[in-house]
Chain A
Amino acid sequence: MLVAILSLGAIGAVFGIILGFAGKKFAVAVDPRVEALLQIMPGANCGACGLPGCAAFAEAIVAGSVKPSDCAPGGATLYEQIAAIMGTEVSAYEERKVAQLLCQGGYGRTRMLYRYEGIKDCRAALANFKGPKACDFGCVMQGSCFKVCPFGAIEMGADGLPVIDYYRCTACNKCVVECPQQILKLIGVSHLVTVRCLNTEKGKDAKANCSVACIKCKICEKNCPEDAVHVVAAGEGSVAVIDVEKCTNCGICAAKCPTKSIDMISPLSEEVVLEIGTTPDAGCQACGVCKTE
């Protein structure tokens, strides 16, 4: 009995000592900043930054592959704390962005050339005469963005166009990259007025194919008090483009646009901010995480 205890104890002690030395010798230094960052992170592990959880985000911050502002729920307070730990300046307030669709030509609005019944994939549809729509610039409506969205923020609407839930959208950029028509774009939530057409054909041709196309009439350009919207050359023709720096969200162009290709929406309505009883200044970016979870 005694022999058994002593011998096993001795074996254990020897291995313990060896392991102790090995642990010291091969110790992996963890950056203390990662630990410190982890302490101040919101800890919701919401994935809004596109990384699996706050721990991964803290590592990525130290590695420099993400910006503090990629953490939407964190808000301005968190950015300051991160800057203090990392010893950097607080970067300029970066507003939250959401993916928006720059096409309104759903079924009934855009003339269809044929009925597409092939693989549900935008690239596959485009391979047949540049898609089933008469307009070659718009959404192909086969839902490639819907499939690639990791947050379930995109659904296919009744009119064939993807409908984006801006509260769920985390601006991860996956749909923007996936879309073969480049019809999805990340737009800051404070920009309310957007030209939702990328058709560069002549006004007459565009109008013939789609009732909500930009027809290059320049009415928006003439009525804009801030000189913010212009019909600029693009591709082989031209299309109206709003200069977000100059735009004051007055909405005159949207009201005057004869085809309603310019629209004015507030992607994240103020209701979220009001509901929680906080303001953007207090760090709430109306990300909607608290609302969806």
Chain B
Amino acid sequence: MQEYVIIIISAVLVNNIVLSQFLGICPFLGVSKKLSASLGMSGAVSFVLIIASFITWVLQTYLLTPLNITYLQTIAFILVIASLVQFVEIVIKKFSPPMYKALGIFLPLITTNCAVLGVAIINIQNEYSLGKVMVHSLSHAAGFTIALLLMSGIRERLEDADIPESMRGTPIALIVAALMSISFLGFSGLT
């Protein structure tokens, strides 16, 4: 049980996928202008991340390792992730056209979101059991969501702030991201 708690705290706060491991920065900066869009984005990424972790673990354990073709890990995982993203895109397009428009290009870009592939590979590297894999990927999804929501909340407030012209938009967002990353370093003593 204690192991699971450690995995959760470590994944959500200490090794936060975005703010400590710097994976999945693209949507973190690209879709964090509005709270609603970032909610949709973290939902989509979380879904892909969790399902991809499950499928890649099954793939690794029951296909790649027995057949001795673990060198195909990266390409096989990308295949899984790309298909999942396609699936998510089809579903979102059907059920929420406004969300589809808000996410725009960042939806297909989840394919190359290193957070998803990163978590899948960390799962394998740490030789987790299926239970731990699920907990681990769930916590990383939560960590990604937290980072994105914090960022978009701050950026929505920045809209009204009196910022020098040349610092508006991306420059101030990058500074905010840096400060958030530094503050998340404070969690490193937790485990």
Contacts and interface: CB of A to CB of B under 8 A. Distances in A.
A22 B87 contact: yes
B93 A3 contact: no
B88 to A, nearest CB: 10
A26 B59 CA distance: 27
A15 B80 contact: yes
A119 interface: no
B90 A11 contact: no
Interface string A1-13: 0011001100110
B64 to A, nearest CB: 8
Interface stretch (B67-75, B103-111, B128-136, B146-154): B67-75
Interface string A27-52: 11000000000000000000000000
A16 B79 CA distance: 10
B93 to A, nearest CB: 6
B170 interface: no
A18 B94 CA distance: 16
A118 interface: no
A28 B93 contact: yes
Q: Which of A3, A22, A23 has the most CB of B within 10 A?
A: A22
B125 to A, nearest CB: 21
B83 A23 contact: no
Contacts of A11: 59, 63, 76, 79-80
Chain B, interface size category, equals 20 to 34
Looking at chain B's contact residues, the main secondary structure is helix
A56 to B, nearest CB: 12
A8 B87 contact: no
B83 A8 contact: no
Nearest to B63: A7
B52 to A, nearest CB: 12
B86 interface: yes
A156 interface: no
Given A3-B67, A26-B91, A28-B94, A15 B83 contact: yes
B93 A26 contact: yes
Interface string B14-51: 00000000000000000000000000000000000000
Contacts of B86: 19
B92 to A, nearest CB: 9
Nearest to A14: B83
B80 A3 contact: no
Contacts of A23: 90
Contacts of A15: 79-80, 83
A12 B63 CA distance: 14
A15 to B, nearest CB: 4
B72 A19 contact: no
Contacts of B94: 26-28
A134 B67 CA distance: 91
Interface in B110-169: none
Contacts of A16: 83
Given A26-B90, A26-B91, A28-B93, A8 B80 contact: no
A16 B84 CA distance: 11
Contact of B91 (A8, A18, A22): A22
A19 to B, nearest CB: 5
A200 B128 CA distance: 83
Contacts of A26: 90-91, 93-95
B67 A8 contact: no
A4 B91 contact: no
30 contacts: A3-B68, A3-B69, A4-B69, A4-B72, A7-B63, A7-B67, A7-B72, A8-B72, A8-B75, A8-B76, A8-B79, A11-B59, A11-B63, A11-B79, A11-B80, A12-B79, A15-B79, A15-B80, A16-B83, A18-B83, A18-B87, A19-B83, A19-B86, A19-B90, A22-B87, A26-B91, A26-B93, A26-B94, A28-B93, A28-B94
- For the complex of A and B, list the 9 residue pairs with the smallest distance between their C-beta atoms, beginning with the closest: A15-B83, A26-B94, A26-B90, A4-B69, A22-B90, A3-B67, A19-B86, A22-B87, A28-B94
Given A3-B68, A16-B83, 14 more contacts: A4-B69, A4-B72, A7-B64, A7-B69, A11-B59, A15-B80, A18-B87, A19-B83, A19-B86, A19-B87, A26-B91, A26-B94, A26-B95, A28-B93
Interface of B: 59, 63-64, 67-69, 72, 75-76, 79-80, 83, 86-87, 90-91, 93-95, 97
